């Protein structure tokens, strides 16, 4: 029997050999029909492993796992049923100079735990961590050693069990729905929205519902709250097709935040890749969060909305060598993490202290097992990979033939879901926009920058803008990729909200407690003449117009648009462009904004633009424009016009300009009906003008159109009133300052019919 952390014998319960597969804790019927739980943990270099069981009073029972198969320690413990809490103690050498950091005094979270109960700092009983630093007991080394430069080499022998959360045994019947039968994530129950038809809405589970007046108070901030009809009604009213949830994997709060009285809000500090974050559960954390999450997914699917998870497989909450020992570090530090040539130190391509060693076969298995679990057992429809370039690194360089990308490409489950890369990290050569393989879509920050610069008047010419609005073929027009490879966004969780983008020239992150040093200084924002909130009616009107311009540009661009929750209703963070630790009214949506007619009108415009995308396939092309003539009239599928009504020439692209027109031909939308017939659509003219004064714009004459019908005019606050009469092709109209106009091209036949 293995000794306890202080040398005393470890008491145990009967442990049968069990099985090495599957990993994690799985309820099974064992020999003789006895029900219990099989525990299996991969710990390659360990000398011994104990599974530690905890009763409701916190009393611990240690059960040595003596069987080992292919470095997997396993055993079946009779009588352990769903809801039982557990953790691991892993024995081995303490030798930080070689990267060995085993310490059996530290209770470790199972990497395959499907539910987690408690929080760091008191396991939910005495939440010390929310009233100061993490307890020193959760560190494998002596955190407060006087000589900090060697503190990570001094082992801390204090027991961490009272201060860390526990894994929870979850039964396979956790998938049972409210009416009894198991959830079955069959393809015909999923929305399966094509990429080209997708409109993404990035939201935070807690922040979206925390202040929602239609969600019952006890459900606000939870998975059940997001599943509530009042929350879903807003999504369906907008017409978005997918929600992209900020991290919902179990995560931990960083020590430096707790010391400042803050905590991690966004969740990019994962520690449990199979467990829904327990703090977002209304029904409890003894496994109930699993069913609650599944019911949320089912409710969103029933509304026609896909669920995409923002996942953080590039690093964990254990940070660098001075961070806590919570799970992987104590199981096999040298296998799970990239270490430097000096194995005491961690390679940090993430800016978070450590980097997972993704090319290692078992680390790769952990990630892909987790991904498949969320698809097959939790029902999600895709993933957005935080710092995806890190996952594609081999020895050091980013490699698009890396083990991670290769495994994803051939996996029969994962290759069928939506895959979105944040295509960069902070390491050398980490910026990889446009480089990911054909299965992948990418966050396109070049789109973000070009659109921001155009509307603040900072573009020297419109070459880059034209490429971004038409799908970024320079980045994605290779290897079978289409415009849907570009996830177009102007704002994201990281940075200014859309309202703050037009209200602040500088970041205002003082509330984060870092002296306003955190967050980027390159915001490409314009405050419209006043920093922050103002009562000046002219500035307020201009800001709302700019918001209409930005949203219209995004939703009329070719590619996959991504909105951020609240941007459609004028949400502000008070100029904070890095609200990762603002789990308060700064980070939560303020639903009272909808009571303001101005912000309500912005929401209405957003919904109308999304409906226009849905109604008109030319606005959501699955293939890039060819630029060639289409049909007998010789019209090209894409054309650009100057304010004089002439097609843009090469010199026009290099000249400074604030006004241009984009003609989208509906003669060939690159779509086919079920039996192969081409799908045609209306044609549209989009006029964009970022200048401070009105300009005359000559509408392109025949054969482009016989007339034009105005559908959207962002210079007008009220979008409900009829936008205006038709304009004859070739006529000159006044294009208002700082505005977007969307006009439908009226054919000669249609115009003749009108005049009969």
Active site residues: 386, 422
Q: How many CA atoms lie within 13 A of 723 on its CB side?
A: 18
> What SS3 state is found at 742?
strand
Closest among 307, 313, 311 to 244, alpha carbons compared: 307
Q: Helix 537-556 crosses helix 445-455 at what angle (to 10 degrees)?
A: 140
On the 0-12 / 13-18 / 19+ scale of CB atoms within 10 A, 717 is: middle
C-beta atoms surrounding 147 within 10 Å: 8
**How far is Cα 704 from Cα 639, in angstroms, rounded to an integer?**
10
Closest among 409, 421, 560 to 489, alpha carbons compared: 560
Contact predicate 140/108, CB 8 Å:
no
Helix, strand, coil percentages, rounded to 5, for the chain: 30, 20, 50
φ and ψ at 42, to 5 degrees? -80, 120
Cis check for the bond before 496: say yes or no (omega within 30 of 0): no
**How far is Cα 20 from Cα 118, in angstroms, rounded to an integer?**
27
| Contact residues for 620 (Cβ-Cβ < 8 A; gap 6+) | 196, 197, 558, 613
Q: Are strands 418-421 and 441-444 parallel, antiparallel or unpaired?
A: parallel
Contact predicate 238/603, CB 8 Å:
yes
Closest among 594, 427, 383, 560 to 483, alpha carbons compared: 560
**How far is Cα 597 from Cα 570, in angstroms, rounded to an integer?**
11
C-beta atoms surrounding 618 within 10 Å: 22
């Amino acid at each position: 029997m293995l000794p306890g952390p202080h040398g005393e014998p470890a008491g145990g319960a009967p442990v049968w050999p069990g099985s090495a597969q599957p990993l994690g804790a799985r309820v099974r019927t064992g020999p003789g029909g006895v029900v219990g739980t099989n525990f299996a943990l991969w710990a390659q270099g360990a000398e011994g492993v104990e599974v530690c069981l905890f009763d409701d009073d916190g009393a611990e029972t240690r059960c040595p796992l003596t069987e080992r198969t292919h470095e997997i320690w396993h055993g079946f413990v009779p009588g352990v049923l769903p809801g039982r809490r557990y953790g691991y103690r892993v024995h081995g050498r303490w030798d930080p100079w070689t990267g060995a950091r085993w310490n059996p005094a530290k209770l470790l979270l199972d990497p395959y735990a499907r539910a987690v109960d408690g929080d760091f700092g008191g396991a939910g009983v005495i939440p010390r961590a929310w009233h100061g630093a993490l307890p020193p007991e959760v560190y494998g080394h002596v955190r407060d050693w006087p000589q900090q430069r060697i503190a990570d080499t001094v082992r801390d022998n204090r027991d961490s069990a009272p201060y860390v959360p526990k894994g929870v045994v979850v039964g396979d019947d956790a998938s049972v729905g409210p009416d009894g039968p198991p959830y079955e994530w069959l393809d015909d129950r999923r929305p399966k929205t094509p990429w080209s038809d997708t409109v993404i809405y990035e939201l935070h589970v807690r922040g979206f519902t925390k202040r929602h007046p239609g969600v019952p108070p006890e459900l606000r901030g939870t998975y059940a709250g997001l599943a509530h009809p009042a929350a879903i009604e807003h999504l369906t009213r907008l017409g978005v097709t997918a929600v992209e949830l900020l991290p919902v994997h179990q995560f931990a709060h960083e020590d430096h935040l707790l010391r400042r009285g803050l905590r991690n809000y966004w969740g990019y500090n994962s520690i449990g890749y199979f467990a829904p974050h327990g703090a977002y559960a209304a029904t409890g954390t003894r496994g109930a969060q699993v069913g609650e999450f599944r019911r949320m997914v089912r409710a969103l699917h029933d509304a026609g909305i896909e669920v995409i998870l923002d996942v953080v497989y590039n690093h964990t909450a254990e940070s660098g060598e001075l961070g806590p020992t919570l799970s992987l570090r104590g199981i096999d530090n040298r296998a799970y993490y990239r270490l430097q040539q000096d194995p005491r130190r961690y390679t940090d391509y993430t800016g978070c202290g450590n980097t997972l060693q993704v090319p290692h076969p078992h680390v790769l298995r952990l990630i892909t097992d987790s991904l498949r679990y969320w698809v097959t057992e939790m029902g999600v429809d895709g993933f957005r990979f935080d710092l995806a370039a890190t996952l594609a690194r081999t020895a050091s360089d980013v490699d698009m033939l890396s083990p991670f990308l290769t495994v994803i490409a051939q996996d029969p489950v994962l290759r069928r879901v939506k895959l979105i890369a944040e295509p960069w990290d902070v390491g050398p050569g980490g910026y990889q926009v446009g480089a990911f393989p054909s299965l992948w879509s990418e966050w396109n920050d070049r789109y973000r920058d070009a659109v921001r610069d155009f509307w603040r008047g900072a573009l020297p010419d419109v070459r880059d803008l034209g490429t971004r609005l038409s799908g970024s073929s320079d980045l994605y027009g290779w290897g079978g990729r289409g415009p849907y490879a570009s996830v177009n966004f102007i704002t994201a969780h990281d940075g200014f909200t859309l309202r703050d983008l037009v209200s602040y020239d500088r970041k205002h992150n003082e509330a984060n407690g870092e002296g306003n040093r955190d967050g980027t200084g390159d915001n490409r924002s314009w405050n419209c003449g006043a920093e922050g909130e103002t009562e000046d009616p002219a500035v307020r009107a201009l800001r709302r117009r700019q918001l209409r311009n930005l949203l219209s540009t995004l939703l009329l661009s070719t590619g996959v648009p991504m909105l951020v929750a609240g941007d459609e209703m004028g949400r502000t963070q008070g100029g904070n462009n890095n609200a990762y630790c603002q789990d308060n009214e700064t980070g939560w949506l303020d639903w009272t904004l909808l009571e303001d007619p101005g912000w309500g009108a912005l929401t209405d415009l957003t919904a109308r633009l999304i409906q226009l995308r849905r109604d008109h396939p030319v606005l959501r092309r699955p293939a890039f424009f060819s630029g060639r003539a289409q049909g007998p009239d010789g019209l090209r599928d894409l054309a650009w016009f100057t304010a004089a009504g002439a097609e843009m020439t090469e010199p026009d692209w290099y000249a400074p300009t604030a006004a241009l027109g984009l003609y989208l031909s509906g003669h060939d939308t690159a779509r086919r009906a079920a039996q192969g017939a081409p799908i045609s659509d209306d044609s549209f003219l989009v006029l964009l003008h970022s200048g401070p004064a009105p300009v005359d714009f000559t509408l392109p004459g025949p054969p482009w159109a016989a007339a034009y019908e105005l559908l959207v005019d962002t210079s007008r606050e009220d979008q409900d009133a009829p936008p205006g009469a038709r304009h004859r092709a070739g006529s000159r109209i006044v294009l208002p300052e700082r505005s977007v106009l969307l006009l439908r091209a009226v054919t000669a036949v249609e115009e003749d019919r009108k005049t009969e």
